Structure 1
Amino acid sequence: MEGRHGVGPWEGAWPDDPRLDPEYLEHGDTRNVVDEYRYWSLDAVVADLDTRRHPFHVAIENFENDMNIGTVVRTANAFLAKEVHIVGRKRWNRRGAMVTDRYQHIRHHESMADLIAWAEDNGLAVVAIDNTPGSVPLETAELPRDCVLLFGQEGPGVTEAAQQAAVMTCSIAQFGSTRSINAGVAAGIAMHAWIRQHADLSQAW
C-alpha cells in the first residue's frame, strides 16, 4: 500500500525488470521519488533522467559557503537541469538538497574563469540573475535555450567578473521593502522562467 512515506515490500512474485532494486522490492521504497520510479535502483533512475534532461545548466558561486546550494540542487532536479555547477569552494551543505544530489549531475569549478571557459567550449550562453543597474527584467527576457543560469550568493549577489562574462543579466521583479530575495528562491524563479519558455510541458509528471 502506498502512502506519504512510499511503498512497502513488493507483494507477490517479483517482476522481471533489471531496473528494479532487490533491496527495495524486499524492504519497500520510502524515497521521495515520483511513482514512476518506485522500486527502481538509483542508477536506473539517473539513466532514465539522462534521456530527458533539459539543455539548461545552473551555476552558483560558493565563495562564502552559501547555505542555499542545497535548495538550488533540489530545484534543479525538479526542473531537470542538465547539470549544477558550483564555483569556488567545493564543499557545500547537502542537507537542503534532500538527497536529490544523488540524481543530479554536479560539476565543480575552481573559479569563475573556469566556468566561463567551460561554457564557451560547450556552446552555452551565461545568463546572470541579479538585480543590478542595466539588468533585463526576467519576466520579459527571452532566455537562450542552451544556457547557464548563474546565481550569486545571498547578499553580495553575482560577482562583477561574472556579470561581465554573461551575455545578459536578468533581474526579478520585486515589490517589497528588501533589496534582494533568497538565492535559492531566485534560482527557482529563473529555472521556471526557462521551463515556461522552452520545456515540453507534456513531459511533466
Structure 2
Amino acid sequence: MDEENKPGPTEWNAHPVGVGPWEDEHPGEPRPTEQRYDPELLDEGDKRNVVDCYRYWTREAIVEDIDTRRHPLHIAIENFENDSNIGTVVRTANAFAVDIVHIVGRKRWNRRGAMVTDRYQHLMHHEDVSNVLEYAKAHDLTVVAVDNTPGSVPLETAELPERCLLLFGQEGPGVTHEAQTGSSMTVSIAQFGSTRSINAGVAAGIAMHAWVKLHADLRNSW
C-alpha cells in the first residue's frame, strides 16, 4: 500500500499517522486563530481518531459541533458483564451521533474498548433500569427493548419511533423482566445459524443502523 492510500490516523495505533504541525501541512497558509482550534495541536500535529474536518479542533469544539446534529436516539445498556461490549456500544453510538448512552448498573468500566470515542459521546449512569424508564418518560422517549424473546417484533420490519431509547441486556439472559415490561415493544434481530445470541455490541450496532435508515438525514453523514 502506498503512503497516499494508507488508512487514516487512530489514537490507539502503535504507529499513529495523522497530520503534523499546521505549518508543515499547510505551508504558506495563515495559521487559524478561531477559538475552536487547539494551539497545542496546531504546534505538534493531530494524531487523534477524528474525521478530517475536525483536525486541530479542541475536544470541546468537536462535541459542541456534534451536538448540533445529534439524533433523538438514546441507547441503554443493562448489566453488561463484558467491558469491551460497553466500549463497542459507545464507539458505535458516537459514529451514529446518538444523543446519550445510558449505562445501567456498573459505573466503572474499561474504556479501552471505546477507542477514545467516549470523549465525544454523552454518557449517563443509572443505578437500575427503573431510573432509565423514568428518564425516558420524562423526556418523551419510547423505550424499545432489543431481545430475541417470544412475541418480539422482527427488527427488519419494525417501525422504530423517531424519539427512541433502544434498551439492550447482556448476552445470554438478555434484558431483565422489569426492562421488558417497561418497554413499549420488544424487537428481535433475525438469525439463521446455530448460535443462541448475537454479540451484544454487534446487536446494538445493527439496531442503531436500523434506526438510522428510518430517521437520519443522510445528507449530514461523512
Give ranges in structure 1 of 5+ residues lacking alignment. Answer: none
CA distance in 1, matches of 2:117, 2:201: 15
State yes or no: 1:6 paired with 2:18: yes
3-state SS in 1 of match to 2:171: coil
Identity over aligned pairs, percent = 70
1:51-130 paired onto structure 2 within 5 Å: 51-62=68-79, 64=81, 66-130=83-147
Moved beyond 2 Å, runs of 4+: 1-4, 62-67
What is aligned with 1:198?
A: 215
The amino acid across from 1:6 in the alignment is: G
Equivalent pairs, count: 205
Letter in 2 for 1:9: P
> Match for residue 184 of structure 2?
167
Superposed displacement of residue 115, structure 1: 0.6
5+ residue gaps, structure 2: 9-16
Q: Is 1:21–1:39's contact at 8 Å kept on the other side of the alignment?
A: yes
Q: Deviations over 1:44-76 (max 9, x none)?
A: 000000000000000001264554100000000
Counterpart-to-counterpart distance in 2, 1:161 and 1:67: 25
* One-letter amino acid of the counterpart of residue 32, structure 1: N
Give the aligned residue type for 1:102: R
After superposition, the CA RMSD in angstroms is 1.4
Deviation at 1:177, TM superposition (A): 0.4
Q: CA deviation at 1:18?
A: 1.1
The correspondence for 2:48, drawn from 1, 23, 31, is: 31
User: What is the one-letter code of the residue matched to 1:162?
Assistant: A
Greater displacement, 6-15 / 192-201: 6-15
Equivalent AA in structure 2 for residue 189 of structure 1: I
Q: CA deviation at 1:195?
A: 0.2
What residue identity is the alignment partner of 2:157?
Answer: T
- Aligned partner letter, 2:202: V
CA distance in 2, matches of 1:97, 1:62: 17
What's the TM-score once normalised by structure 1's chain length?
A: 0.96
Native 8 Å contact 2:80 2:169 kept in 1: no
Distance in 1 (alpha carbons) for counterparts of 2:38 and 2:80: 39
One-letter code of the match for 2:134?
A
- Whole-Å separation in 2 of the counterparts to 1:136 and 1:47: 36
Q: Deviations over 1:105-126 (max 9, x none)?
A: 0000101111101110111010
Alignment of 1:187 onto 2:199: no
Q: Partners in 2 of 1:21 and 1:138 — Cα distance?
A: 43
Structure 1 residue matching 2:75: 3-state secondary structure: strand
